[in-house]
Amino acid sequence: MSDRDTSRVPPEPQAEEQGESSEDPKVYPVYVYERTCQDIFGYCLREAQRRPPHEALGVILGFRRQWQGTKYVRVTDWATGRVESSMAYARFTPEGVLEYRLALHDRYGTNPHTPRVIGLWHSHPFGGNPQFSSTDFNTFFRTPFCAEGNVFFLIDPLSRFFKVYMLRLSSEKEVLQLERVEWCTYRPKVPFGTMPSEEIDDSREGGADRA
């Protein structure tokens, strides 16, 4: 799923890989693992189909990287927990924060090379062009999410909008600003002829379960 001009999630995902094609050497500010994009969008859609529709909220996991001197973010996973939500707002309950933290610890343990929380995703399921509310801004510009390079997704699953924003320093480098950025999805590429060293046991690895 790519978002270049319309911000809409297309019916058929089109995966791209950073730096792989000489025809498109551009480095995007944000790369989202295709399955992660699909999973977040699907979760938001299920919440939107409740009566009344409910806003959804979760955390984004990934890595900050640099390629040929250009910084970018690679989003690899997501999680959520108990949320107090309605048609007007969504926020984690204290139990919800503990739930997603425990889920991430169970998923990744204390390995220092695992993805870290680098932002939030949030839905406005109203069938229009979603815009951040004052409540959203208050959430984004609060610890621990208020950090340069953090990423925020704003989604309307009914109108298929999937917008990506990043916290960047202003031109005077004094104030953090939330800027909309270009992004694309990617899917890991396995070199031809490479075989996994062992079969993956879904029951052992946790399968596709999400918090």
- pLDDT one-digit tens code per residue, 70-80: 899 999 999 99
Cα distances (Å, whole numbers) of residue 95 to 91, 100, 134, 135: 11, 9, 24, 20
Domain presence at residue 201: no
Q: How far apart are CA 132 and CA 56, in angstroms?
A: 13
107 — pLDDT class (breaks 50, 70, 90): very high
Q: Give the residue numbers spanning the domain of 64.
A: 30-189
Domain presence at residue 18: no
Domain presence at residue 11: no
Domain presence at residue 15: no
Q: Name the region of 19 (left: φ>0; alpha: ψ -120 to 50; beta: rest).
A: left
Q: How far apart are CA 39 and CA 140, in angstroms?
A: 22
* 187, 74 contact by CB (below 8 A): no
Is the pLDDT at 140 greater than 90? The verdict is: no
What pTM did the predictor assign?
Answer: 0.77
Domain presence at residue 72: yes
Number of domains in the chain: 1
State the average pLDDT over residues 7-25: 42
23 — pLDDT class (breaks 50, 70, 90): low
**46: Cβ–Cβ under 8 A, 6 or more apart, which residues?**
none
> Which pLDDT score, from 0 to 100, does residue 67 have?
87
CATH code, domain with 58: 3.40.140.10
End-to-end CA distance of the chain: 23
* 151, 29 contact by CB (below 8 A): no
- 39-66 pLDDT, tens digit each: 999 999 998 888 778 889 999 999 999 8
